[in-house]
């Protein structure tokens, strides 16, 4: 005798033609209740109310540490500080320094809040203009 559950596959309303994996060993389910398939179909929800998610539960994308252009610190100095504080190689540090110089700002790191605050503090200690913003 063919498994009655087999009929659920591929044709459930609102779910398109995807094959729905149906376990073969569930002892009690609709075939046992005697409801016609159509009754089950019409009772299937087409939309689902998702619970409201508290903002704090969204994944933490971290904080961007931004260095802003200033007309006083020399380019060589900025490159040195970026290399020293973040361990960037010469190419990366130079790229960031030029971004600061040409665009007025550059994201030099993205970190969890506490680490971002620490990096921001260190940049200020080295005389660079730095701020934090949510990534």
Rank residues 18 and 101 by Cβ distance to another protein and give the closer one.
101
Rank residues 8 and 64 by Cβ distance to another protein and give the closer one.
64
> How far are the Cα atoms of 32, 48, 54 from residue 51, in angstroms, in the given order?
32, 9, 9
Residue 26 CB, shortest distance to another protein, in Å, is 55
- Kindly give the pairing relationship between strand 105-111 and strand 129-134: unpaired
Residue by residue, what is the 3-state secondary structure of 71-134?
A: CCCCHHHHHHHHHHHHCCCHHHHHHHHHHHHHHCEEEEEEECHHHHHHHHHHHHHCCCEEEEEE
Could you list the residues that contact another protein (CB under 8 A)? 66, 70-74, 76-77, 79-80, 83-84, 90, 117, 120-121, 124-127, 130-133
Name the token pair of 3. Answer: 């498994």
Residue 122 CB, shortest distance to another protein, in Å, is 10
Rank residues 50 and 72 by Cβ distance to another protein and give the closer one.
72
Residue 28 CB, shortest distance to another protein, in Å, is 57
Rank residues 106 and 130 by Cβ distance to another protein and give the closer one.
130
Residue 67 CB, shortest distance to another protein, in Å, is 12
């Amino acid at each position: 005798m063919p498994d009655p559950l087999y009929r659920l596959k591929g044709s459930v309303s609102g779910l398109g033609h995807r094959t729905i994996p149906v376990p073969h060993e569930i002892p009690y389910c609709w075939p046992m209740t005697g409801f016609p398939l159509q009754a089950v179909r019409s009772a299937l929800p087409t939309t689902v109310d998702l619970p409201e998610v508290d903002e704090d539960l969204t994944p933490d994308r971290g904080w961007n540490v931004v260095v802003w252009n200033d007309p006083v610190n020399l380019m060589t100095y900025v490159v040195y500080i970026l290399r020293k504080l973040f361990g960037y190689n010469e190419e990366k540090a130079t790229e960031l320094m030029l971004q600061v110089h040409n665009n007025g700002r550059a994201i030099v790191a993205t970190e969890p809040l506490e680490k971002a605050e620490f990096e921001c503090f260190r940049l200020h200690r080295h005389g660079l203009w730095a701020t934090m913003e949510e990534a």
